[in-house]
Amino acid sequence: MAEMLGISASYLNLIERNQRPLSATLLLGLAESFDFDPRRFAAEEPGGGEGALRKRLADPMFADLEIDRDELAEWLAAAPGGAEAFARAYDRMGQGVGGAAAEDDPILPVRREIERWRNHFADLDAAAEEVADELRLGAGDLYGAISERLRVRHSIAIRILPADVMPGTLRRLDLHARQLQMSELLDPASRTFAAAYQLAQNEAREQIDALARAADLSSRAGERMYRRHLAGYWAAALMMPYGRFLRACETTGYDIELLQRRFGAGFEQVAHRLTTLSRVGARGLPFFMIRLDRAGQVSKRYSGASNAPLVEANGRCPLWRLHHVFDRPGKLMVQLVVLEDDSRWLTLSRTVAPQGQRYGGVGAEFAVGLGVEAGMASPLAAAQGIDLAGGATPIGLGCRACFRPECPQRSAPPLGRVLTVNERERGVSPFSFAGD
């Protein structure tokens, strides 16, 4: 076993005696060599494991402590109870969500549960892939095939209604009429997703129920939100079956526009699907995804298997082009960025508009950002012509958590550092602080 994992027998013995932490590298080695699901370990680790604790410690309130990976690993090994106590206290305080208590926020527990699974639900993927094979997706119209299956197997007809008949509603299940009613405002990709979502509620109920029970969410609203996420996951997996989608990603260089056309999906649907490719023995690149509005408020964030600090940070850097895409709607922006810990990420950003907008109404718009570690990004079509080891834009996790001293874009000094004011000189940055 030690030889297969590439470690010494003595080191393996120390791990077995709980005298050394089980690192992420070894977890991946176990998964690859023994077809083992790493979540079985991570779920039992204090505070959700090293990655989950590192995300909590990325909060600006801990910035001055400068806790490194070795110190965190030693803490977990020497005082697992203390680490678990810290995690529970931090989560109860609701840090990172405006100070609201975690038990009062139904969204935070749902996000934690999704991240615990790394946004990959193997049973849902397998079930959706099986149905996709039955529907013979490559041979015809997917929307038509799903509609027929709903009609024949579940006695549910699909009806497209005028927008004036369904004001403020895009999809409705009318059980009395046995109809799935959709607004004419939905585009083809959204109609297919809505039909697949309904099929998930009918045919993936057993798997969804099992996952929801295991999550043990305390609020009814949180449980329903989690079920909605799982049904949406199944619907996306039906539209983009895992095996076919991964092969298409690898052969096209993860070309998002081409994947959209090939699978009849929208940009955001493809972006979300890219964060789910963590099947044991058939993994894709570990993408993260984040969606925000012009005010910087985040409405979606998925780390997947990336453990990207850009997703979990409360603040974001205006030098990241994710914030610039609103000036060029619909255009994909590619950027190589480097964080203060020297990690490098290739990011792709684009605007999306929600369905259901009408002339004269509120014109909503969001920015969707995708990213993957630069060291893994060479297969991407979007990386062509980019020196992934070359010059990158230095960004931070928001001014309050950023310690770059000479940033002209800085809007506030970092937390945990003493602000210094020199009346006789003015630097590039409007704020100077001790330790820079």
Q: What is the pLDDT of residues 377-387, one digit of tens each?
A: 999 999 999 99
Question: For the residues of 188-203, what is the DSSP string, one character each?
Answer: HHHHHHHHHHHHHHHH
pLDDT tens digits, 96-150: 443 444 456 788 889 989 988 999 999 999 999 999 999 975 546 899 999 999 9
**Which pLDDT does position 98 carry in this prediction?**
39
For 387, residues 6+ apart whose C-beta sits below 8 A from its C-beta are none
For 16, residues 6+ apart whose C-beta sits below 8 A from its C-beta are none
Calpha distance 311→291 (Å, rounded): 10
Lowest mean pLDDT among 58-72, 195-209, 216-230, 341-355: 58-72
pLDDT tens digits, 275-290: 999 998 899 999 999 9
**Is the pLDDT score of 426 beyond 80?**
no
Picking from 251, 308, 365, the residue whose alpha carbon sits closest to that of residue 118 is 308
* Terminal Cα-to-Cα distance of the chain (whole angstroms): 47
Lowest mean pLDDT among 165-179, 277-291, 422-436: 422-436
| Residue that the structure tokens 């058939």 belong to | 282
pTM of the entire predicted model: 0.79
Ramachandran sector of residue 155 (left: φ over 0; alpha: ψ -120 to 50; beta: rest) = left
Ramachandran sector of residue 16 (left: φ over 0; alpha: ψ -120 to 50; beta: rest) = alpha
CB 24 within 8 A of CB 51: yes
**Which pLDDT does position 18 carry in this prediction?**
67
Calpha distance 215→114 (Å, rounded): 9
Length reported for the chain: 436
- pLDDT band of 432, cuts 50, 70, 90: confident
179-183/157-161 β-pairing: parallel
User: Residue 16 pairs with which residues in a beta bridge?
Assistant: none
CB 311 within 8 A of CB 96: no
**Which pLDDT does position 97 carry in this prediction?**
40
Domains and CATH numbers, the chain: 2-116 (no CATH), 122-279 (1.10.10.2910), 282-399 (3.30.450), 403-436 (no CATH)
Instruction: Specify burial of residue 327 (Cβ count, 10 A radius: 0-12, 13-18, 19+).
Output: exposed
User: Measuring CA to CA, how many Å separate 416 from each of 38, 116, 407, 410?
Assistant: 36, 30, 18, 16
Calpha distance 373→8 (Å, rounded): 29
**Which pLDDT does position 44 carry in this prediction?**
58
**Which pLDDT does position 307 carry in this prediction?**
85
Calpha distance 66→58 (Å, rounded): 10
pLDDT tens digits, 334-361: 999 999 888 999 999 999 998 888 877 7
Helices in 288-426 by DSSP H: which ranges?
Answer: 309-312
**Is the pLDDT score of 322 beyond 90?**
yes
Picking from 223, 237, 224, 161, the residue whose alpha carbon sits closest to that of residue 193 is 237
Picking from 412, 429, 410, 432, the residue whose alpha carbon sits closest to that of residue 421 is 432
**Which pLDDT does position 140 carry in this prediction?**
63
Tokens at residue 161, please?
């209604």
For 27, residues 6+ apart whose C-beta sits below 8 A from its C-beta are 38, 41, 42
Tell me how crowded residue 88 is: count the other CB atoms within 10 A of its CB.
13
